[in-house]
Structure 1
Amino acid sequence: MKANIDNAVAEIRTVLEQVHALVPNATTSMAGYPMLFSRTQACSTLVSASQRVILNDVAVYFEGKQRELALSMSASHVR
């Protein structure tokens, strides 16, 4: 799962680089990736507690990777 996220972030970087090449003075903002489920309440009968933990952990990982990407590209007006 993390490898898929890492690949997606690499693709996002490519797109952001293309945008920056076309409009170098534009500022690009990325929205964070929220946790999908409450950590304290059972909010779904379709997703078990252990599945909620896994999905939330993936969301936190993805958000962190996006944040790292934005920070690494801040000179290119990415935030």
Structure 2
Amino acid sequence: MKANIGNAVAEVRTVLEQVHALVPNATTSLVGYPLLFSRTQACSTLVSASQRVTLNDVAVYFEGKQREIALSRSASHVR
């Protein structure tokens, strides 16, 4: 699953580069991902507790990777 996120992160980076090339003075904001499920309550009978933890962990991981992109590109007007 992290490999898929790695691919998505690479695509986000490419899009940011394309946006900056087209509108170099624009400021681009990346918005993080909220947790998909409550950490304290079961909110679905379709998703097990362990699956909820995994999906939340993936969301946190992806948001962290996007934050790394934003910090590395901050000179290019990404926040």
TM-based fold match above 0.5: yes
Q: Normalising TM by the smaller chain, what interval?
A: over 0.9
Counterparts of 2:54 and 2:28 in 1: how far apart (Å)?
A: 30
RMSD between superposed Cα atoms in Å? 0.5
Gaps of 5+ in 2: none
Residue matched to 2:66: 66
> What amino acid does structure 2 have at the position aligned with 1:10?
A
Q: How many residue pairs were aligned?
A: 79
Q: How does 1:24-39 map to 2 (within 5 A)?
A: 24-39=24-39
TM-score scaled by length of structure 1: 0.97
Q: Which runs of 5+ in 1 are unaligned?
A: none
Deviations 1:25-58 (A, max 9, x none): 0000011011100011001111000100000000
TM-score (norm 2): 0.97
Identity of aligned residues (%): 90
